Amino acid sequence: MTLPRTDLGAAGAPALVLLHAFPVNRHLWDGVAGTLADSGWRVIAPDLPGFGEAAPAVQPPDVAVAAATVFAMLDGLGVKEFSLGGLSMGGYVAMAVLRQQPDRVRSLFLVDTKMAADTEPARENRLAIADRALAEHSTEFLVDAMLPNLLGPVTLASRPHVVHQVSEWIRGTSAEGVAWAMRAMAARPDSSATLAGYPGPALVVGGTDDRLSPPDEQEQMAATLPMGQLELVPDVGHLSAIEDPQAVAAAMLGHPEMGPHA
């Protein structure tokens, strides 16, 4: 499968692959990607299977399948080594990438994500949402259900363009894409050992107002990564990269050890 993607910066520059959250698409990274490309990265941000312009996966739901599509894209582009960033679901896929070919990942950005597997109630809730999306042939119900958790209170009150954009992205996501990803996330394993075994530079970025992956979980992930560092971005919730892209880009660029490695 060829993943549609944003590809910014010089072709020969160090590659940074950015993976988006659920249930949105690669444009989540638009406000961050230009700044990172201006700072020396080649930023590659794909739509994951079933989101944005990407066709749904045909294989059974599994974050490992999404990771394999990322490798297929990178192999097609001739990119061997890369830095890797994932926001929330993108982070789960990034952890699956690390399980498959860790030696290709030069540095790791985990943004608003979690290393723990789902609790049983969370898993059941995901499977119910997957069934409902398919039964209704719609993702409309997810707008009201998810927005108060995806966006922080400052964004909900004072960044109406972000509220509008995220709502439109959710509406534009297919029921099939939502169902596949929900089932894949429900089945994902605990990733603590994966992170504990990753020897490279790693930065955890979290929003101070994130209710889905709160700051204490971000601290635990940074402590689990052997070279983990932590940056908390004020006044943003779970989708920090669109809530305050400049602050997220500044956090990512504030650690020279993360690259770009000229």
Binding region for ligand MLT (CB under 6 A): 21-22, 88-89, 185, 212, 238
Place of tokens 């004020």: 234
What would the two tokens of residue 44 be?
């590659």
**Residue 74 or 111 with smaller CB distance to ligand MLT:** 111
Q: How far is the CB of 112 from ligand MLT (least distance, A)?
A: 7
**Residue 64 or 79 with smaller CB distance to ligand MLT:** 64
**Residue 21 or 105 with smaller CB distance to ligand MLT:** 21
**Residue 105 or 150 with smaller CB distance to ligand MLT:** 150
Half-sphere exposure of 255 (CA within 13 A, CB side): 19
Q: Could you give the 3-state DSSP secondary structure of residue 71?
A: helix
**Residue 87 or 258 with smaller CB distance to ligand MLT:** 87
What would the two tokens of residue 235 be?
């006044």
How many other C-beta atoms lie within 10 A of the C-beta of residue 54? 22
Query: Do 66 and 99 meet the contact criterion of CB atoms below 8 Å apart?
Result: no
What would the two tokens of residue 219 be?
């601290």
Q: How far is the CB of 57 from ligand MLT (least distance, A)?
A: 16
Q: How far apart are CA 39 and CA 159, in angstroms?
A: 26
Q: How far is the CB of 29 from ligand MLT (least distance, A)?
A: 13
**Residue 13 or 233 with smaller CB distance to ligand MLT:** 233
Q: Compute the Cα dihedral for 252, 212, 215, 164 and give only its sign.
A: positive
Q: How far is the CB of 198 from ligand MLT (least distance, A)?
A: 20
Q: How far is the CB of 261 from ligand MLT (least distance, A)?
A: 28
Q: How far is the CB of 88 from ligand MLT (least distance, A)?
A: 3
Beta-carbon contacts of 21 under 8 Å, excluding residues fewer than 6 positions away, are: 28, 87, 88, 89, 90, 112, 150, 238, 239
Query: Do 105 and 84 meet the contact criterion of CB atoms below 8 Å apart?
Result: yes
How many other C-beta atoms lie within 10 A of the C-beta of residue 19? 30
Q: Please state whether the peptide bond connecting residue 60 to the residue before it is cis, i.e. omega within 30 degrees of 0.
A: no
Q: How far is the CB of 118 from ligand MLT (least distance, A)?
A: 8
Q: How far is the CB of 119 from ligand MLT (least distance, A)?
A: 11
**Residue 14 or 177 with smaller CB distance to ligand MLT:** 177
First to last CA, the chain: 30
**Residue 21 or 195 with smaller CB distance to ligand MLT:** 21
